[in-house]
Structure 1
Amino acid sequence: MREELGDRVAEVLDGGPCRYGLESTIVSLVDPDGPLLLRHGALSAEFLANRWRMPLSLLLRAGAIRPSVAAHESPSDGPPSDGRASETESVGAAAPGQMRLHYAPRTPVWLADDPQLPSQRRGRWGRIRFRETSTSGGGPSESEASWAETRLLSRDGDPVEIAASLYATLRDLDHRMLEGIVVDVCAEAGIGRAVMDRLRRASANHGGA
C-alpha cells in the first residue's frame, strides 16, 4: 500500500499481517430482491448465503460482479500502458474492485489455463504455483528450469494460504524484470472465488482477456 500511495499520504497505519490477505467482501443491501454480492473477499459467498439463509445463486445474481467497463469502452480495448486501470474504467462500478483491469501489476499476468497463453515463451518468465504438484497447465514446458522465477504459495493448494500471499507474490515478481507471470487457477468455492476474481482482473493487462 505504501508503495502504491507514495507521497500522496503522510502516514500509513500498519495493522500487522492479515490472515486472508484479500480486501473485505462488499455486499449491497439496497436491492429489493435481497443482498447482492458486489465484491468477493475474505468472507465467502457461501458463508454469507448460509448466514442469511438464502440461495447462493440469489446472492450471486448473474452479472452482478462481472468486470465493469466504461460505457464508451469495449471489453476488447487494451489496458493503460502502465498496467493500471484508467479512471474511465470505474464508470458504472457499484463498488471498489469491479473494474475490468484491477489488482494488476505492470508485468502481464496469464492464467495457467488460458488458451491464449503463448506456446513459446521468450525472455524471462515467472511462475506462481498453488501446490507442489501443479496440474493446471502453464504451457508446454513445466520444468522448473524453464522459469526465471518460481513461487509456491501452498504445498497442498490451501486457498487460505494462497490468498494470504497472492498480492505480495505478484508484487515481488513485478519487480523481477519479467516478460510475463503465469499463475495457477483454483476451484471457485469459498475464498477461492475471491482469488480467481482478483486473478481474472489482474490478467486483463495482457490484452487477451
Structure 2
Amino acid sequence: MKTEYYDLRDPVEREAGIAAGSRALISKETVAFPTETVYGLGALARDAAAVERVFTVKGRPLNNPVLVHVSDMDMARETGRFSELGLELAKLWPGPLSLVVPAASWVPDRVTAGLSTVGIRMPSHEGALDLIAVSGPIAAPSANRSGRPSPTRLEHVREDLDGKVPVILDGGPCQLGLESTVIDVTGRVPVILRPGAVTREEVAALVGDCQVAQGVLEQVEGTAARSPGMLHTHYAPRGEAVLIRGGHGLDRARALRAEAEAAGRLTVIVGPNLPREQGMIPCDIMGEHGLFYALRAADEMGAQFVIIMGTGTAGEGLAYMNRAIRAAGYRVLEESR
C-alpha cells in the first residue's frame, strides 16, 4: 500500500488532506491524524469491520477498548449517556480529556471491548475536529504499533505505519506529548483511569472530589481494560528499560549506566531536569519534547539499555509516572533519600 501524506499546516494541503482522509474513512480504511496529545489511528466508530482494521494494523489486543473522538456535544450525546457529573466535566472540552460514560446502543463491541461503557473525547486540534466533523465519530487509539511509545511527530507515525495505512495527516509536533486523561464518570465521584494533562487537582477543584484508579501506578490483571493503557505493557523502547524513582536517583542511574556500558551495552538516561551531557536525553514532564519523544530518540540512538528517571506524582507528574512505569515494564528501582 502506498501511503499519501498531507501537511495540515499548509492551507491547500489541509483541504485536500481532510477530503482524502474522510474518503478513506468512509471506504472502511484507517487514517492517521494529529491531535494536541498524540497522533491517532482512526476508523469510523460506527463500522465494526473498519474498527477491526485498527486493531490489525496496530497489533492491538482485542480486550483493550478505544476512544471515540467527536467534534461537538451533539455528537457526544449520540455516542453516550451523560450524567450531571459528565456534563460538568465536559465543560473542559475541547481538550485532552476523555470521559467514560454508558455507551449508546450503536457503539460496536469492538470499540468498547465488550463493556457497557465508552470513552468519548473531543480534541482541541483543529485538523482533527475538521476530519471528525465531515466524517462522523472516529474510534482511534494512538497511531503506533502496539506496545511502542506513542507518536508525537510525523516521523514517529511514518516509522510505524508507512505502507500500512492509505492516508497520514501531518500536523507537526503534538503540543502535549502524552495521551488524554481518561475519567470514569459513571458514578457519583470521578475516577481517573489514565492520567493526562487534565490533572486530578484540576478535576477536584471543578467538581469537589476526584479519585485515582488502582491501576494507574500498578500492574492490573483482567479480561478487559476499563480504559486504554490499563492492562498491558505500553510505550516501551526497543532496548531494556528500568525506572528509577527517589531522592538520589541520578547517582544510581549514572552507576547503572557505567556498569552496563562496561559490559558493552549502549545506555542512555532519559527524564525531566537532566543535565545536558553525553548519554542523557532530557525531556519535559508534559510537552512536545516529552517522555515519548525521549524514548523514540533513545531508539534512534540504538540504545540497548534505557534508564528512565522518575518524578513526583502531583499535577502532571502522575501522567508522566503512569507512562514511565509501563515503558519500563514495571521494573522499578526505589532510591531512598
Identity %: 27
Select the structure that is richer in strand: 2
- Equivalent position of 1:98 in the other structure: 230
1:113 matches 2:236: no
TM-score by length of 2: 0.43
TM-score by length of 1: 0.67
Other structure's SS at 1:204 match: coil
Q: How does 1:29-48 map to 2 (within 5 A)?
A: 29-30=185-186, 32-48=187-203
Q: How does 1:114-133 map to 2 (within 5 A)?
A: 119=256, 120-121=259-260, 122=263, 123-132=265-274
- Equivalent position of 1:197 in the other structure: 322
Q: How does 1:1-209 map to 2 (within 5 A)?
A: 1-30=157-186, 32-54=187-209, 56=210, 59-61=211-213, 63-65=214-216, 66-70=218-222, 91-113=223-245, 119=256, 120-121=259-260, 122=263, 123-132=265-274, 149-153=279-283, 159-161=285-287, 164-204=289-329
How far did residue 203 of structure 1 move? 0.2
Q: Number of paired residues?
A: 166
- Equivalent position of 2:136 in the other structure: none
Q: Which has the higher contact order (CA 8 A, sep 6+)?
A: 1
8 A Cα contact 1:108 1:206, kept in partner: no
Q: Which runs of 5+ in 1 are unaligned?
A: 71-90, 135-143
Is the radius of gyration larger for structure 1 or structure 2?
2
2-side partners of 1:181 and 1:64: how far apart? 24
Q: Which runs of 5+ in 2 are unaligned?
A: 1-156
Please identify, of 106-115 and 44-53, the stretch whose mean Cα deviation from structure 2 is larger: 106-115
Give the alignment's Cα RMSD to 1 decimal. 3.0
1-side partners of 2:242 and 2:296: how far apart? 15
Distance 1:132 1:202, change over 3 A: closer
2-side partners of 1:3 and 1:67: how far apart? 29
How far did residue 132 of structure 1 move? 4.2
Aligned letter for 1:176? M
